[in-house]
C-alpha cells in the first residue's frame, strides 16, 4: 500500500502531540502536589524565575527550571522572553491553581496517572476477560475522580441541573430527604446540602474508604449534621426509614454490575411523587458522533475503569458512553414510566425518571 507522505506527516504530528501530553501528565500532578501552580498564581503578572519558584515552594531549582520549560512548551504557562520570567495567566490559574474553580482540571490528570499505574491489572483483564473492581485501582483514581467531577458539579449542579428537573428545586428548598447513590467522596452530596439547608442527604457507596472520606469532608464543610454516608450498594440500600423524595446517581449508573437491579431498587425506595436524577457522561447513541475529544477521554476511562468495574461484578458493562437509548432501557426495565433528558452539557447528560 503506497504511503501518502502528507497524511503520514500529519499523523506523526498528532502522535508527537500525544507523546508530549502523556509524558507531561505526571508533571501536572507534580506541579499541583508541590504547590508550583499556586505559587505562580500568587506571583500574578510579575511572574517567576526558576530560582524564585523553587525558593517559594522549597523545591530544587534545577528540577523546577526544567518543569517550567515543559509547562511553557505545552501552553500551561507563558514565557516572557524580555525578562526571562514565567507567568501563569488568570485563565491558566483558574484551571490549574484554584481548587474551588468550576474549571479545575487537575483531577483529570490524577485519573490519567492512575490508569498508567494500573496498566498491569488491565493487561491481565484484556487477556482473561475478567474485571477490575473499583476498589482495586490506585488511590489516585479516587481522589482524581472526586476533584475532576467536583469542578463540573460546582459549575452546574445547583445552578443548572436541579432547576431543569420538574419541581425538584422547590422540593429541596422546602425540605426533602435525598439519596446520593454511588456518592464517592461526597462532592455532589455536600454541594446539595450546602445549597439546600432544609433538606437531608444520605450518600451510599460500596467503597468504604470513600465513604469515610465523604464523612470527614461533610464535617469539614459544616454539613455533617445533615449528611450521612453509608457503605451500601445501589441494589441493596433502603429507605431511611421512609421513602426518599429524590434519588441521585452522578456518573455511576453505567459502572454498575446490575444497573437494572439498581433501577428496580431505586424505584422501590422512592415516594410515589419522587424523582430519580441521573447524571451520565455525555454520549450519542451513534458511534460516529462520539469520535471527538470528549469521546476520546470517556472511552479511555471506560476501557480502564468503567467497563472493568462492571465486568468484575459480572455486569453488562454499559461503559461511559452508553448513550441515552440504552440508559432509557435500564430505567424503564426497572419500573419507571416517565423518562426524559432534562438538560445537558458538553460533558454530561442530565436525565429525569419518575415512577
pLDDT digits (tens, 9 = 90+) for 62-104: 999 999 999 999 999 999 999 999 999 999 999 999 999 999 9
Contact of 102 with 154, CB cutoff 8 Å: yes
Residues 6 or more apart whose CB falls under 8 angstroms from that of 108 comprise 144, 148, 297
Strand partners, 205: 231
Q: What is the pLDDT of residue 107?
A: 96
Which three cell numbers mark 49?
524565575
Q: What is the pTM of this model?
A: 0.93
Cα atoms in the Cβ-side hemisphere of radius 13 Å centred on 97: 20
Which stretches of the chain score pLDDT less than 50? none
pLDDT of residue 1: 82
- Going along the chain from its start, the domains and CATH numbers come out as 5-98 (1.10.10.10), 156-354 (3.40.50.150)
Query: What is the pLDDT, as a whole number, of residue 68?
Result: 98
Three-state DSSP string of 26-94 = HHHHHHHHCCHHHHHHHHHHHCECHHHHHHHHCCCHHHHHHHHHHHHHCCCCEEECCCCEEECCHHHHH
Amino acid at each position: 500500500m503506497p504511503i501518502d507522505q502528507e497524511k503520514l506527516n500529519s499523523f506523526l504530528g498528532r502522535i508527537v502531540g500525544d507523546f508530549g501530553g502523556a509524558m507531561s501528565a505526571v508533571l501536572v500532578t507534580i506541579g499541583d502536589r508541590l504547590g508550583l501552580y499556586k505559587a505562580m498564581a500568587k506571583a500574578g503578572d510579575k511572574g517567576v524565575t526558576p530560582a524564585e519558584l523553587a525558593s517559594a515552594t522549597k523545591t530544587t531549582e534545577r528540577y523546577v527550571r526544567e518543569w517550567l520549560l515543559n509547562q511553557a512548551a505545552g501552553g500551561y504557562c507563558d514565557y516572557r522572553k524580555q525578562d526571562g520570567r514565567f507567568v501563569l495567566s488568570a485563565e491558566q490559574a483558574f484551571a490549574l491553581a484554584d481548587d474551588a474553580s468550576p474549571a479545575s482540571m487537575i483531577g483529570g490528570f490524577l485519573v490519567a496517572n492512575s490508569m498508567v499505574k494500573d496498566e498491569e491489572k488491565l493487561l491481565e483483564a484484556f487477556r482473561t476477560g475478567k474485571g477490575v473492581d473499583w476498589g482495586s485501582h490506585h488511590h489516585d483514581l479516587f481522589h482524581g475522580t472526586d476533584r475532576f467531577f467536583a469542578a463540573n458539579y460546582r459549575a452546574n449542579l445547583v445552578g443548572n441541573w436541579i432547576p431543569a428537573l420538574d419541581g425538584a428545586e422547590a422540593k429541596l428548598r422546602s425540605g426533602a430527604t435525598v439519596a446520593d447513590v454511588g456518592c464517592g467522596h461526597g462532592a455532589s452530596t455536600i454541594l446539595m446540602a450546602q445549597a439546600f439547608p432544609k433538606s437531608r442527604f444520605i450518600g451510599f457507596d460500596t467503597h468504604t474508604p470513600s465513604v469515610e472520606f465523604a464523612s470527614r469532608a461533610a464535617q469539614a464543610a459544616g454539613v455533617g449534621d445533615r449528611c450521612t454516608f453509608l457503605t451500601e450498594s445501589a441494589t441493596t440500600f433502603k429507605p431511611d426509614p421512609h421513602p426518599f423524595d429524590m434519588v441521585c446517581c452522578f456518573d455511576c449508573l453505567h459502572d454498575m454490575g446490575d444497573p437494572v437491579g439498581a433501577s428496580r431498587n431505586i424505584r422501590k425506595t422512592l415516594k410515589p411523587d419522587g424523582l430519580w436524577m441521573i447524571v451520565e457522561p455525555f454520549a450519542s447513541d451513534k458511534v460516529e458522533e462520539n469520535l471527538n475529544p470528549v469521546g476520546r477521554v470517556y472511552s479511555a476511562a471506560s476501557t480502564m475503569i468503567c467497563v472493568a468495574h462492571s465486568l468484575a461484578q459480572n455486569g453488562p458493562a454499559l461503559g461511559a458512553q452508553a448513550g441515552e437509548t440504552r440508559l432509557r432501557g435500564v430505567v424503564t426495565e426497572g419500573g419507571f414510566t416517565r423518562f426524559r433528558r432534562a438538560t445537558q452539557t458538553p460533558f454530561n447528560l442530565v436525565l429525569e425518571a419518575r415512577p
